[in-house]
Amino acid sequence: MLPFLDLQPTYAASREAIDTALARVAASGWFILGKELEAFEAQWAAYCGSRHAVGLGNGLDALHLGLLALGVGEGDEVIVPANTYIATWLAVSQCGATPVPVEPDPRTYNLDPARIAAAVTPRTRAILPVHLYGQPADMDAIGAIARQHGLKLLDDCAQAHGARWNGRIVGSLADASAWSFYPGKNLGAMGDGGGLTTDDAAVAERVRVLRNYGSRVKYHNEVKGLNSRLDEMQAAVLSAKLPQLDTLTTERRRIAARLLDGLAGAPVGLPHVPAQAEPAWHLFVIRHPDRDRLQRALAEEGVGTLIHYPVPPHRQPAYAELGLGEGRFPITEAIHREVLSLPLWPGMTDAQVDTVIDAVRRHA
Ligand SMILES: *Cc1c(COP(=O)(O)O)cnc(C)c1O
C-alpha cells in the first residue's frame, strides 16, 4: 500500500524540536496570544521576506481578514480564479462581497492574467490569485493589472510555502498574503492554523485587531471582530518545524523531478512549470481523459490518489445564487473532470516514486 499522503516522515524530521516545544507550552500554562506566537510571527515574516506576519486561526480566516483589512466590503467585487478550492471564494462572500471568477491558463491551472481586465467593473476592489498546487501564479503580470486598475492584491498562499516567482519568495509579492498551516499543507501545524504576511503596518495592525474581537485593549472593542488566533501550541509547533521547511521543499522538488522524468511520454498531461517558477510542489497533478478509471486502476494496485478538486466552486450548491451553469467556465470544468493528484510527500523513497510511475504508465 502506498498512501496518498504520509505525514510521519515530516514529524520524524523535527520530532525532538516538536516534542520539546509541546512540553514547553504545556508547562508554561499560557496558551493564547503569548510569546510563542510572537516568536513564530517574527520567524515567518523573515522567511517570507515580509515586514509583518500575523498568526490566525486558519487559512480561510486569513483570506477573510486580509480582504477586510484591504478595505473589501459589502457590495464590492473581487476577482478570483474559477479554478480553486472553495475557501478562496468563501472568504470573499464572508466580506459581503461577490466573487467574480476568471478562467485559468490551461497549462498552469492558475489565474490567466490575459483574462482579468475583461472582468473588472466599477465595483471591483481586489484581485485574489491562488498559487494552486504550489505553482506560483504570474505575480508580475497580475500585479501590473492591479496597479493599472487601482485594485488591491491579496494572494492565497495556502499551498505555496517556499515557492518563488522570478526568484522572489511567495508571501512578499502582494499587498497582503494569506497562509494556511492546516496539517497537510507544506508547513503544517498539529491542528488548524493560518496567517497573513504584509509589508503594510496598517494592514497588519487591522488584522491583529480583527482576530481578537476587534479589540486592542481588553474589553474595548473598536470594530466587530472575530475570534481567530493562532494558539501557542500551534505557533510553537510551527517554529519547531520551520527550520526543516527548505530541506523538505527540496525533497518535494526532487520527487517531482523524478515523477516528471519517469512519466515523460506517457499518455497523461504533466504539470507545466513556467521558466520564472520554482514551485513548492504541494501537489503533483496529472490529467487524463478517463480520470475515474485511472484512479480506480491505481487504487487496485494500492496506489492512493485524490482529486483536487472534483466540483468547481461555481457548480457547488453553495453558489447556486450566482446562477453560473454548466459550460460557463469550460477550461475550469475540463480541469475538474480530468485531474488526478499522485502521492508526493517528503520521505517517499525512490522505490515508492517508481511504483507510482510504473502503475501510471501501465494504466494510463
Ligand atoms: C487549505 C486551503 C485554504 C484554507 O485553509 P484552511 O486552513 O483549511 O482554512 C484556502 N485556500 C487554499 C487554496 C487551500 O488549499
Beta 277-278 vs 176-180: how paired, if at all? Answer: unpaired
Residues of the chain with CATH 3.40.640.10: 14-242
**Along the 364 residues of the chain, how does pLDDT read in single tens digits?**
899 999 999 999 999 999 999 999 999 999 999 999 999 999 999 999 999 999 999 999 999 999 999 999 999 999 999 999 999 999 999 999 999 999 999 999 999 999 999 999 999 999 999 999 999 999 999 999 999 999 999 999 999 999 999 999 999 999 999 999 999 999 999 999 999 999 999 999 999 999 999 999 888 999 999 999 999 999 999 999 999 999 999 999 999 999 999 999 999 999 999 999 999 999 999 999 999 999 999 999 999 999 999 999 999 999 999 999 999 999 999 999 999 999 999 999 999 999 999 999 999 9
Contact 248, 342 (CB under 8 A): no
Alpha helices in the chain (DSSP H): 8-13, 15-28, 35-47, 59-69, 87-94, 139-149, 201-210, 232-241, 245-263, 291-300, 330-338, 350-363
Atom of ligand 1 nearest to the CA of 87: 10
Atom of ligand 1 nearest to the CA of 91: 10
Q: Give the C-alpha separation, 74 to 216, whole Å.
A: 24
Q: HEC string of 306-361? A: ECCCCCCHHHCHHHHHHCCCCCCCHHHHHHHHHEEEECCCCCCCHHHHHHHHHHHH
Helices and strands: H and E segment counts in the chain: 12, 14
CB neighbours of residue 110 within 10 Å: 24
Q: Give the C-alpha separation, 100 to 91, whole Å.
A: 12
Is the CB of 194 inside a 6 Å radius of any atom of ligand 1? yes
Is the CB of 156 inside a 6 Å radius of any atom of ligand 1? yes
Q: Give the C-alpha separation, 213 to 218, whole Å.
A: 9
CB neighbour class for 158 (10 Å; exposed up to 12, middle 13-18, buried from 19): buried
Nearest CA to ligand 1 atom 7: 59
Nearest CA to ligand 1 atom 14: 158
Is the CB of 68 inside a 6 Å radius of any atom of ligand 1? no
**What residues are paired with 356 via a beta bridge?**
none
| Cα-to-centroid distance, 181 and ligand 1 (Å) | 8
Domain 14-242 sits in CATH 3.40.640.10: yes
Residue 113 main-chain phi, psi, to 5 deg: -55, -30
Nearest CA to ligand 1 atom 2: 158
CATH (one of 3.90.1150.10, 3.90.550.10, 3.40.50.300, 3.40.50.620) for 244-363: 3.90.1150.10
Is the CB of 91 inside a 6 Å radius of any atom of ligand 1? no
CA angle 283, 287, 290 (to 5 degrees): 130
Contact 319, 67 (CB under 8 A): no
**What residues are paired with 53 via a beta bridge?**
197
Residues of the chain with CATH 3.90.1150.10: 244-363
